[in-house]
Amino acid sequence: MKNKLLDRNEAVEQVRNWKTAGKRIVFSNGCFDILHAGHVQYLDAARNLGDVLIIGLNSDSSVKSIKGPLRPVCGERDRAAVLSALEAVDAITLFEEDTPETLIGMLLPDILVKGADWPVERIAGAKAVLENGGAVLTVSLLEERSTTGIIETILQRYGYGTELGKD
At 116, is the pLDDT very low, low, confident or very high (cuts 50, 70, 90)?
A: confident
pLDDT of 163 higher than 80: no
DSSP bridge pairs for 76 = none
Q: Which domains does the chain have, with CATH numbers?
A: 5-141 (3.40.50.620)
Q: CA 55, CA 122: separation in Å to the nearest integer?
A: 18
Closest CA to 48 of 143, 113, 124: 113
Q: Give the global pTM.
A: 0.89
d(CA 141, CA 153): 20
Beta bridge partners of 136: 112
Res. 162: pLDDT tops 80: no
- Is the per-residue pLDDT at 118 higher than 70? yes
Per-residue model confidence as pLDDT tens digits over 44-90: 999 999 999 999 999 999 999 999 999 999 999 999 999 999 999 99
Report whether pLDDT(101) > 50.
Answer: yes
Specify the length of the chain in residues: 167
